[in-house]
């Protein structure tokens, strides 16, 4: 089993968030930009240090809109409705952050019986940040867009 039973819901939510974010802009071609989207950028830190990987998603209260971004090596993100529709609609959102460390492959030379099992990925953020119901994170996107930073706490 590559993913533990505790991580399957997390991965499922991540895929759902990415899918919803991608679907929000479907229907257009290259250069398609949804009306009303404003630029939203920010930085995600954990205990004051940049979170260097992961995904951040802003989810509307009614669940009809979501915007997602990868978190880069400096902890920065830029929200998008889809790859061709950068930005987000103004409004209030619940925010989730998912970040996992890539699992390490077992060394088959040291333990032939280990086989190709990669183990479960290690979460880089506390579990509470992974769901809209428990994260406690919110973001208000102003009409003109802006910068929204988040400092997560490990405890």
1 within domain boundaries = no
Q: What is the DSSP code (8-state) at residue 52?
A: -
pLDDT by residue (tens digit) across 50-105? 999 999 999 998 888 899 999 999 999 999 999 889 999 999 999 999 999 876 66
72 within domain boundaries = yes
Give the Cα separation of 6 and 4 in Å (integer). Answer: 5
43 within domain boundaries = yes
Looking up residue 54, the CATH number of its domain turns out to be 2.60.40.10
Q: Can you give the residue range of the structural domain that contains 59?
A: 8-25+36-152
Decide: pTM greater than 0.75: no
The alpha carbon dihedral of 59, 60, 63, 64 has a sign of negative
Q: How high is the pLDDT of residue 102?
A: 73
């Amino acid at each position: 089993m590559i993913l533990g039973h505790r991580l399957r819901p997390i991965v499922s939510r991540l895929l759902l968030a990415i899918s919803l974010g991608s679907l929000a802009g479907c229907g257009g071609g290259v250069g398609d930009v949804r009306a009303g989207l404003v630029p939203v950028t920010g930085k995600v830190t954990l205990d004051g240090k940049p979170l260097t990987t992961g995904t951040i998603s802003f989810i509307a209260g009614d669940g009809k809109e979501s915007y997602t971004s990868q978190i880069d090596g400096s902890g920065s993100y830029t929200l998008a409705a889809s790859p061709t529709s950068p930005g987000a609609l103004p409004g209030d959102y619940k925010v989730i952050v998912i970040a996992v460390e890539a699992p390490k492959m077992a060394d088959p030379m040291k333990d032939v019986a280990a086989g190709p099992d990669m183990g479960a990925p290690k979460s880089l953020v506390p579990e509470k940040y992974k769901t809209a119901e428990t994260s406690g994170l919110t973001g208000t996107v102003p009409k003109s867009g802006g910068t929204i930073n988040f400092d997560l706490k490990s405890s």
